[in-house]
Homo-oligomer: A and B are copies of this chain.
């Protein structure tokens, strides 16, 4: 394996005494990000002021970072741009895709999709009116539900609760055969598993950077548009930085070249500085190494849990080929168990009603971490009294 994971672990500023298995929710701080953000604040903003848009290269950051992320998801050069949040990018991709299929009205998604994607689609359908429809089926039923009325198939590749992974190439092929376009949400894919957008023939893809890509809280989202569609897609969210000549201040909108038109407003430069530092790590990484190591870590976790915790049920697909880079377990007292784990320094998270999620992130998680986390979980399961009031299941507020 080419990647030296002992070395990459040293590139993260992890708190003492913590085993962090929640990088699928918010990645930890790359050591270099603190200095990079500080330099952006005091050296660029503070000293260059307005001139930093050109002198410090701020204006090009969304494209330059896009190319670096693009390499990790099999995107062609010049097809990915950063900006906004994932929800906004979902709206943007979906609206553009629908406009490219003007004679069709149906968006198909699944009930395992991240709710915000469904909410954004719902908002778009309401805005479009005219018979547009968002149809959702169970994840397993997606393939059979692809029919000739479909305008756009909108899916999250890896299920945020269970880690179940769709077969991207297969679903794209089926959708294309019926004349539909496909929008992929890569929130739990980018930096987690191997993705080959170009190879699979993806049309649109979107994703966030604060999970596996470690850009920090509220880091910008990204959007991919296939090269053959980029000049045809007309963004519904037509902001000035997606204009062909933003600083001509024309009164009429004229979309920029290719992926540039998917930019909207002024990009969040401090967040991009943090992402820039994180990408210095990712630039050296082969996603095949990440995937192999992620599978080794998660398989070890499953083996350990199943050997020691008989009441915890595996909620993720057992076959690693069928899941992303997380393992989920089910237990009626899941919330209380996660609180007990966090109190012991093992940070995962809980998703109602009964799912414990654990993300496996080879850049900074070792086999020893996995063994220790498994041992702590086994100890909690063996010694806890589930009928004590403080272990009662509560609705998680945030």
Q: A85, A111, A396: which has the most chain B beta carbons within 10 Å?
A: A85
Query: Interface residue count for A (Cβ, 8 Å)?
Result: 95
The reply to whether A115 and B243 contact each other, CB–CB distance below 8 Å, is yes
Interface residues of A in 1-33 (CB under 8 A from B): 13, 15, 18, 20, 22, 25-26, 28-29, 33
Contact of A270 among B161, B266, B274 (CB under 8 A): B274
Interface residues of A in 250-300 (CB under 8 A from B): 250-253, 264-272, 274
Contact digits for A191-219, partner B, Cβ 8 Å, 1 yes 0 no: 00000000000000000101000001111
The reply to whether A235 and B123 contact each other, CB–CB distance below 8 Å, is yes
Chain B residues closer than 8 Å to A118, beta-carbon distance = 251-253
The reply to whether B46 and A397 contact each other, CB–CB distance below 8 Å, is no
The reply to whether B274 and A120 contact each other, CB–CB distance below 8 Å, is no
* Nearest-Cβ distance from residue A276 to partner chain B, whole angstroms: 12
Chain B residues closer than 8 Å to A395, beta-carbon distance = 248
The reply to whether B46 and A247 contact each other, CB–CB distance below 8 Å, is no
* Nearest-Cβ distance from residue A354 to partner chain B, whole angstroms: 13
The reply to whether B28 and A49 contact each other, CB–CB distance below 8 Å, is yes
The reply to whether B85 and A239 contact each other, CB–CB distance below 8 Å, is yes
Contact of A266 among B45, B210, B397 (CB under 8 A): B210
Interface contacts beyond A87-B265, A116-B239: sample of 12 additional A-B pairs, CB < 8 Å, sorted by A: A15-B47, A44-B217, A85-B264, A85-B265, A87-B264, A116-B240, A126-B234, A161-B249, A218-B272, A247-B352, A268-B268, A270-B270
Q: A-B pairs with the 4 shortest C-beta distances?
A: A85-B265, A116-B240, A87-B239, A217-B269
Q: Which residues of A contact B (CB under 8 A)?
A: 13, 15, 18, 20, 22, 25-26, 28-29, 33-34, 37-38, 41-42, 44-47, 49-54, 58-59, 84-88, 91, 95, 111, 114-116, 118-120, 122-124, 126-130, 136, 161, 208, 210, 216-221, 234-241, 243, 246-253, 264-272, 274, 342, 347, 349, 351-352, 395-398
